[in-house]
Structure 1
């Protein structure tokens, strides 16, 4: 669904309110990206951090922390080194996805005397086959919630308003995204089964040239069960 500019601005604002605290900046010694919390059902065991497989595994990996995603104020560090988290990232290069079970993140926080205060992307808005099939070659409004990279190396939370297309099984953002956007979640608006307009999370941004492939949630769900991956 292609929205007019006013509607796109409204969706971007709503996304920041609903899932803004799902998003974390991620970096390694030589790359910037974004990761996000996803909650697969009501069971806390189903919570995971997701990003692009190409980002993780390099030296110096760390998750940045904003004050809004932890409590109490002033206790959490500015960043969490991925070497401190066990279990670590599971990589699934064939699907482009990396998964970090959040049990280790919660243990790390508890040992440090603080708690996570996040808004995971809920499974109820993860795009199913029908939402993906509704995309076409003509382009739909897409919203990428990411931590960009400023000249001073700061990582503000941003919403990129883009266009996404589908060509067969391939879903792609048509323009090149700024630094820091790889791994970020991609959202679209589509009519639901009742004909009402609904928000869906398509998946996450993968690296690309002259645009970016999207790892859709059918690929992500296939690797979410307790699978060791290529670690």
Structure 2
């Protein structure tokens, strides 16, 4: 669904209000920058998993950045969390392009440090099902990517990129190349639901690309989540 610019800006604003605190900056070995996001696969205070692109993880030298708004009480949490300190760590599914971090270790890390997570996970209810993906086509539709970009001074602000998404066969793709820091970020679209009302959906996450980016859609993400232990 291709929206007019005013409607696109409205959606971008609403996304920041709804799931802005789901998004974390990520840095892997060699100063490769990306984004990770919380996904609530079941009921819980934080959500079952942190998701990102498999290409970013696997070195044990990465770190998650923490904005002040995603933790409480104020001033207690560190500025970054080294992934080597989190157990269980990232589970990589390179065939699907997805990395999954069960949030049990993130909870324990916060508890040990005397603070708590205060995030807005992307809920399972808006994760795109096959019918949403099937409605995408060769005609470009509006897509919204929430990510932590990389500024010249090294800061990692939360940003929304308004882009175009297409489907070619089974492949879903962002049509333009995104700035540094956007790999691993969630991609959102709006579509009419069964009643004709416009609803918001999370298609999946951004994968590395040149001249554009493949999207690891939620059918692929759901397929690997049963292989990842939950928060028990």
> How high is the TM-score relative to the length of structure 1?
0.96
Runs of 4+ in 1 over 3 A off after TM superposition: 43-46
Q: Deviations over 1:40-95 (max 9, x none)?
A: 12256961000000000135200000000000000000000000000000000000
Which whole-Å CA distance do the structure 2 matches of 1:57 and 1:79 have between them?
Answer: 18
**Distance in 2 between residues matched to 1:43 and 1:59, nearest whole Å:** 27
Unpaired runs of at least 5, structure 2: none
Mapped partners of 2:44, 2:71: distance in 1: 21
* 1:70-109 matched pairs, under 5 angstroms: 70-109=71-110
Aligned length: 228
> Could you tell me how far apart the structure 2 residues matched to 1:27 and 1:180 are?
8
Q: State the alpha-carbon separation in 2 of the partners of residues 131 and 24 from structure 1.
A: 26
Deviation at 1:226?
3.8
How many Å apart are 1:153 and its aligned residue?
A: 0.5
Which residue does 2:10 correspond to in 1? Answer: 10
1:21 aligns with 2:21: yes
**Retained in 1: the 8 A contact 2:40–2:124?**
yes
Structure 1 position 36, deviation (Å): 0.0
RMSD value over aligned CA atoms?
1.2
The corresponding residue for 1:137 is 138
Mean alpha-carbon deviation: is it higher for 53-62 or for 17-26? Answer: 53-62
- Identify unmatched segments of 5+ residues in structure 1: none
CA shift, 1:217, in A, is 0.1
Measure, in 2, the Cα distance between the counterparts of 1:180 and 1:191: 30
Native 8 Å contact 2:46 2:120 kept in 1: no
Counterpart CA distance in 2 for 1:151 and 1:118 is 27
Contact persistence 1:45–1:103 (CA under 8 A)? no
Distance 2:165 2:227 in 1: 31
